[in-house]
Amino acid sequence: MQDNITTAITEALDKAPERAFVESIEFAFTIKDVDLKNPNNRIKEEIRLPSGRGKEIKVAMFASGEAAEKAKAGGIDVYAPEQIEEMGTNKGMGKKVANRYDFFLAEVPHMGLVGRWLGVILGPRGKMPRPVPPVLDPAVVATGLRSTVVVKSGDKMTFHATFGTANQSVDELTANAMEVYKRVMTRLERGPNNIRSLYIKTTMGPSVKVEVTA
């Protein structure tokens, strides 16, 4: 299966037109014989990519005091607790902040405040913050997230999973793609036999079909 994925990645990169920006590269899974009306069958996985995501990942944290200082030292943008209500009240501001970052963290005591004021903004985007207890260094958490992708099907039989960018090598992309593929397979009762089709494409490039083998 790895050879098939490598071949598809190579072809997708070769066929991708030149762009003025670095394109992401992703899988398009279409699954079959899975009851996605049952939430237990829906795929939602956080996957650490061995070769990283190939682009800068922005992380912010709702914090104060010592936690805020640790976060700033780790290159994390910090929003003070009093800014949470402000962002919740000013929906335009809240949406702008939500779209600016890939992941959010929060000190445990601020999670309720975030849920109350920003839940309707962050929740639908899948960006509710991860709670960071005092014993954890937020910089360590952020480092892990910077190489993490979230793969989720929701209730759709077709879903996409990004595994890198076009400026990474084929070997790096293959390693990332295999990590994503294997994790998705663990969530399917019949593994490859639950795959109707699988494609690889860059953001705006043509799709390349991957031959799925057991």
Cα(151)–Cα(183) distance, integer angstroms: 9
In a shared domain, residues 64 and 124: yes
**Model pLDDT for residues 32-74, shown as the tens digit of each residue:** 999 999 999 999 999 999 999 999 999 999 999 999 999 999 9
> Do 24 and 202 contact (CB within 8 A), yes or no?
yes
Cα(53)–Cα(96) distance, integer angstroms: 23
In a shared domain, residues 18 and 43: yes
Q: How many domains does the chain have?
A: 2
Average pLDDT over residues 177-199: 98
In a shared domain, residues 28 and 67: no
Instruction: Estimate to the nearest angstrom the gap between the alpha carbon of 100 and the chain centroid.
Output: 14
What is the value of pTM for the model shown? 0.88
**Residue 214: pLDDT above 80?**
no
Residue 116, domain extent? 59-145
**Model pLDDT for residues 88-107, shown as the tens digit of each residue:** 999 899 999 999 999 999 99
DSSP letter at 22?
A: P
Select from 106, 130, 145 the last residue of a domain.
145
What CATH number should be reported for the domain holding residue 137? 3.40.50.790
Q: Is residue 214 part of a domain?
A: no
User: What count of Cα atoms within 13 Å lies in the side-chain half-sphere of residue 213?
Assistant: 6
